[in-house]
Amino acid sequence: TNKPMARSLRIPYLARVRKIISVKPDGARLLIAGSGDFDGGSTFLGLDHNRGGQFKITGISVSDPELLTAEAMSDQAGRRQTVRVKLKQGLTPESIAGTVQAWITINTDVPESAELKVPVLVAPTRAGVRRPFENP
């Protein structure tokens, strides 16, 4: 500064850097129910373009296709996309020994975020899906 009593000036700030495409929530948690009438747990993941542009989902794959499926809800470009994650039909709590962490790979047409890996927890108990996600 040009003031002799204040030779310097400090301005604290915080910068938050977001990915170009963000996924909310940060993963999926699916619980295998014990009822025979249960058609498979499902949840939705929202993908947002944080720069305001439009994008398309060009492909989706899952690491454990015997446990779950994932599908894009739209094939059109948009600022927001939705992916439905669903357990396979016929799974029972006895189908798996404990909590399984699977992965969904989502491909987009945005070069900087061409591939996103999203964790999925599948468990026969509520306690199994409450644990934190592991890194890919």
pLDDT at 91 (0 to 100): 85
Given a cut of 70, whether residue 1 has pLDDT beyond it is no
pLDDT at 7 over 60: yes
Task: Say if residue 40's pLDDT is above 60.
Answer: no
Rounded average pLDDT over 70-98: 92
Residue 36 has pLDDT above 50, yes or no: no
Q: Report the predicted TM-score, pTM, of the whole model to 2 decimal places.
A: 0.82
* Rounded-to-integer distance, Cα 52 and Cα 117, Å: 21
pLDDT, position 114: 92
CA distance 63 to 66: 9
Does residue 5 surpass a pLDDT of 90?
no
